[in-house]
Amino acid sequence: MAGRLALVFVFACAAPVRAGGVLEASAQATVGDRVVLRLDVRNGGERPLSAVTPEVVYDGRSERGETLSDLAAGARHSWTFDLPRPAEPGTIPAVIHVRYTGGDGRQAALPVVATVSTPGLLPVPEVRATLTSSPVTRFARAVLLLENPLPAPVHGRVVVVLPDGLTIEPESQPAEVAAEGRSEVPLVVQNRGEPPGVPVPVFALFEYEQSGRRHLAVASASADVVGGSSPLPPLAVGGGALGVALALLAVAWRRAARRAALDRHPAS
C-alpha cells in the first residue's frame, strides 16, 4: 500500500505560511508510485493579487506551475504537481516559491517547504531542528539549533530558504552535530528589499544520511521586518542558487550512498 505524508511546514506546523498579511500558502505531498504535490493559496488581503505563479525545486529539478492572472481578495486557488518518487529511501524537501504582484504593484515571492518521504518506519530517531531570528533591519541574525539523539555524530548540510527580498551567503553550508549533542549554526540574513512592517517566513533545512536513508530536519521562524534594505550588492541569487544548492545535496547524498554500498559489498 502506498505510504502517505501530509505535512505543511509553517510556524508550529499548524497554520498556512503568510506573506505580509496578504498571501497565505500551504503544501501537502502524497507518496505512491508518483509524488502528488498539492499547493493551496489564499489571498488574505483587501486587494486582488496578479500573476500568481508557483515554482517548485525538488530533487535537483525545477518545475513551474501555470500562472494565475488574478486572485481576488479572499479567494483561494490550488495547483497540483506530478513529481517522480524519490530514487532513494528517506525524506527530501520540496521547496516552493509562490511569486505574485501585489495590489500596490510590488512583486514578491512567498517560500513554502513541504517534505516528501518514502514509506516505511525510520530506522533511527531524527535530528531535531529549531530556528530563531532577530527582527530584520538591514540585516538579521538567526541561529539554527540542531539536537542529535543518536550515539554517533551526524554530518550533513544546511540550506536556508528565504523570500526574494532577503539573501544569505552561503545558502548552503556543511554542519556537524556531535553524538548525543547539540550544535548551533549562526546565520546572517541581508535585507535586499523587504519593506518594514511585515513579518516574513524563514526556513532552514538540515539534510543528512544515516543507516542508508536520507533524513531531513526542517525548522521555520517568522521574522519581523523593522528596517530598510541594505545598499550593499546582493550576496546571492535567490531561487537559482537555491536550486543549485538542493541539487548539490542530492548529488552528495547519492555519492555517499554508493560509497556505503561499496563498503558493505566490496569487490571480490
Say yes or no to pLDDT of 85 above 80: yes
Could you tell me if 113 and 157 lie in one domain?
no
Could you tell me if 261 and 227 lie in one domain?
yes
pLDDT at site 232: 47
Could you tell me if 164 and 267 lie in one domain?
yes
pLDDT at site 104: 84
The pLDDT tens digits for 9-50 are 332 333 457 655 589 999 999 999 999 999 999 999 999 999
| Residue 155 domain boundaries | 125-268
43-53: b (≥16 Cβ within 10 Å) or e: bebeebbbebb
Q: Which of 104, 120, 136 is the last residue of a domain?
A: 120
How would residue 146 be classed by pLDDT, with cut points 50, 70 and 90? very high
pLDDT at site 250: 54
Say yes or no to pLDDT of 199 above 70: yes
Say yes or no to pLDDT of 8 above 70: no
Stated pTM of the model = 0.79
Could you tell me if 129 and 259 lie in one domain?
yes
Could you tell me if 109 and 183 lie in one domain?
no
Q: Which of 70, 94, 120 is the last residue of a domain?
A: 120
Could you tell me if 198 and 78 lie in one domain?
no
Q: Measured between alpha carbons, how far is 183 from 208 in angstroms, rounded to an integer?
A: 14
Could you tell me if 152 and 114 lie in one domain?
no
Q: Measured between alpha carbons, how far is 101 from 226 in angstroms, rounded to an integer?
A: 22
> Given the DSSP bridges, would you call strands 172-177 and 128-133 parallel, antiparallel or unpaired?
unpaired
pLDDT above 70 covers a percentage of the chain that reads 76
Could you tell me if 26 and 89 lie in one domain?
yes
Could you tell me if 114 and 130 lie in one domain?
no
Contact 182, 215 (CB under 8 A): no
Say yes or no to pLDDT of 246 above 80: no
CA distances from 196 to 76, 147, 261 (A): 26, 33, 51
Q: What CATH number did the domain enclosing 212 receive?
A: 2.60.40.10
Residue 36 contacts by C-beta under 8 Å, 6 or more apart in sequence? 29, 30, 80, 81, 82, 83
pLDDT at site 174: 97
**Identity at 106, one-letter amino acid code:** R
Q: What CATH number did the domain enclosing 71 receive?
A: 2.60.40.1230
Could you tell me if 114 and 26 lie in one domain?
yes
Could you tell me if 168 and 74 lie in one domain?
no
Number of domains in the chain: 2
Could you tell me if 110 and 134 lie in one domain?
no
pLDDT at site 253: 52
Q: Measured between alpha carbons, how far is 29 from 140 in angstroms, rounded to an integer?
A: 31
Q: Which of 98, 120, 142 is the last residue of a domain?
A: 120
